[in-house]
Amino acid sequence: MRLVTYKELGPLYGIWYSRTHLRRLMFDPAYEHVGFPKAVRLSTGRVAWRSDDVDAFVRSRPEQLSPLPLLEEERTKLLPPPQGQLPDYTAK
C-alpha cells in the first residue's frame, strides 16, 4: 500500500475532481452513497489517500471513471480550437 496525493489522483486514477468536490465526497452526508475513501492527514493542509482504497473506489464505478489517462487524440478533441479559428461542428 502507498499513499496517493491530490496531484496523483488524476494521472493515475482518472479522478479529476477539485479539492472542494473531494471534500464534499468525503464529508457531506448527501454524498456518502458515493463511497469515496476518506483521506489520511499528512500534515497541516496536506492529505493523501490509501492506494488500496482508491483502487476499490475506481473498480466499484467503472462506467463513471476511467482509470487510464486520456490518449493524445482524446485530449486534442477536448481542447478548444486555436485562437481565431471556429470549431468544426460538422466533424464527428
* DSSP per-residue letters across the chain: --EEEHHHHHHHH-----HHHHHHHHH-GGGTTT-PPPPEEEETTEEEEEHHHHHHHHHH-TTT--SSPPPHHHHHHHSPPPTT----TT--
| pLDDT tens column, 7-53 | 999 888 888 899 999 999 999 999 988 899 999 999 888 999 999 99
Is the pTM higher than 0.75? The answer reads no
Domain boundaries, the chain: 3-65
